[in-house]
Amino acid sequence: MMTPSRSNPMMAFGRVLLGLYFLLPGLFKLAAPAQQLALMEHHGVPFASPLLLVAGIVTVVGALFLMTNRYVRLTSLGFVLYILVINAMLHDFWNFTGVEAQHETQNFVKNLGILAGLLVLAGASPWRAIRAKGLLKADD
């Protein structure tokens, strides 16, 4: 059985797309937080303002790691945890009815698909210990 190469163009393109999925919202969280903050407050998220800042920074940095093939396994697993928290806190379809419940269900399931892709990427990527000098070194 052949193991997937991390330098495969499809793997690289997939990493970039997953990175974009996190990068753009992360930048929006930092540049224009009002709408996201309102959403968090609507869902009753405690400490919404500081959590939004942390989420913005983490998603931007993690996205850049994925896109540049650095600490891919660790970053992917970190985003898996992030998605689980987001699904529980912001896509809580069980607390809504009608169109809002349908919208939250769709986002919840979509996020499970992203989570699945992250698990596959984590499984195909090597483990590396976190080191400052390793930030400039790709995983390949």
- What tens digit of pLDDT does each residue of 11-35 get? 999 999 999 999 999 999 999 999 9
pLDDT tens digits along 108-131: 999 999 999 999 999 999 988 888
61/67 Cα distance (integer angstroms) = 10
Helix (H, G, I), strand (E, B) or coil at 126: coil
61/6 Cα distance (integer angstroms) = 20
pTM of the model: 0.88
CA geometry: angle 68, 72, 136, nearest 5 deg: 45
Helix (H, G, I), strand (E, B) or coil at 42: helix
